[in-house]
Chain A
Amino acid sequence: MRFYKGLAIIMGFLFAGEAIEKLLKIPVPGNVIGMLLLTGALLLGFVRLEDVEEVGTFLIRNMSIMFIPPGAGIIVYWGLVKTQLVPIAVALVVSFAVTIVFTAKTVEILRRKR
């Protein structure tokens, strides 16, 4: 039963997040709003960790596969990507490497200076 209780809570927060997104017309998607709301509810004790942990952990551990269907959508835009393949590929790869190292190093250096 706990599985369904957890799923109902998570889906409830997702639904609430989507409702807020629509009502406030903000650019933040419902799932991110739902995540922040659920964090708040856990902190305030409205939701118990044990109720959502099992199903939530299952979803998190299987997040990678959820990107395959939208990723395969590249075939729809392949014509456009092909004409600018070099700028797109180089910019994505270099920007990725620069951003991850820069951000992580910044946090680490700030921490050491404390």
Chain B
Amino acid sequence: MKSFGFFFTVLVYYILSRLFEESGRKFFLNPVLLSIIVVALFLRFSHISYQFYMKSAGFIFYLLGPAVVSLAIPLYKERKTIVEYAMEISVGVVLGGLVAALSVIYIAKFLGATKEVLLSLSPKSITTAIAIGVSGKIGGIPALTAVLVILTGIMGNAVGVELLNLAKVRDRVARGLGMGVTSHALGTARIILDDELSGAVSGLAIALNGVYTSFMLPYLVKLILG
């Protein structure tokens, strides 16, 4: 019975990916977002525990480890452009990481979120594994952070490319960095299918923003939330 989680995840993702392709890639039919909703609702109404689901679905999540390591490949292939853009990339990560944290904290605070939720929200733009660690360190709820990080990633996966087009950003390095700094691996997963250079920069941004934010955020939240 433990194969249920793996089987169900792949089945739902297959069906929804086909729907997405056959609809002509309508952003509101994003297969990752819809799959999460379908799986979550199914678990809720069938009274199957999340723990039981993860017995085999956990393996799919586990593969994210080697997938992130593999981002070294586009990084290596695009090394020339990345070195050429070293200054722009560095400034983009430092300012972008700051804007990501400040904007989410102040908006949620203004709308009345509790401190626990604010702290859980603050690392939402960095890759799941780092965000969980940082969240625990600053007093957030790590598992809630994981979900918020994924929701942020899904927006990049679903509409990040469209938003960059709307803002008329044409520089491929700029597009990749915006995506990676904002929507980590889920955004990278999408943009790398469109453009390898943007994908490589996006992958690099995951690492740079993850390391930078993990050191910066504990001081930032102390400064503005006391």
Contact = CB atoms under 8 A, between A and B. Distances in A.
B60 A87 contact: no
B68 interface: yes
Q: Identify which of A31, A92, A103 gathers the most chain B CB atoms within 10 Å of its CB.
A: A103
Given A72-B53, A77-B144, A98-B99, A49 B130 contact: no
Contacts of B57: 68-69, 72
Contacts of B75: 35, 39
Interface residues of B, number: 111
Interface string B120-156: 0100110111100110010001011011101111111
Given A35-B69, A71-B39, 6 more contacts: A38-B69, A39-B76, A70-B147, A72-B57, A94-B107, A102-B178
Contact of B99 (A10, A34, A102): A102
Contact of A71 (B133, B147, B188, B192): B147
A81 B70 contact: no
A35 B178 contact: no
B129 A32 contact: yes
Interface residues of A, number: 73
B6 to A, nearest CB: 9
B55 to A, nearest CB: 10
B130 A97 contact: no
Nearest to A66: B64
Interface of A: 7, 10-11, 13-14, 17, 27-32, 34-39, 42-43, 49, 52-53, 55-57, 59-78, 80-81, 84, 86-88, 90-108, 110-111
Contact of A59 (B67, B112, B174, B186): B67
B133 A29 contact: yes
A64 B210 contact: no
11 contacts: A32-B206, A66-B64, A67-B61, A69-B54, A77-B147, A88-B148, A98-B103, A101-B169, A103-B92, A111-B85, A111-B173
B79 interface: yes
Interface in B72-102: 72-77, 79, 85, 87-89, 91-92, 95-96, 99-100
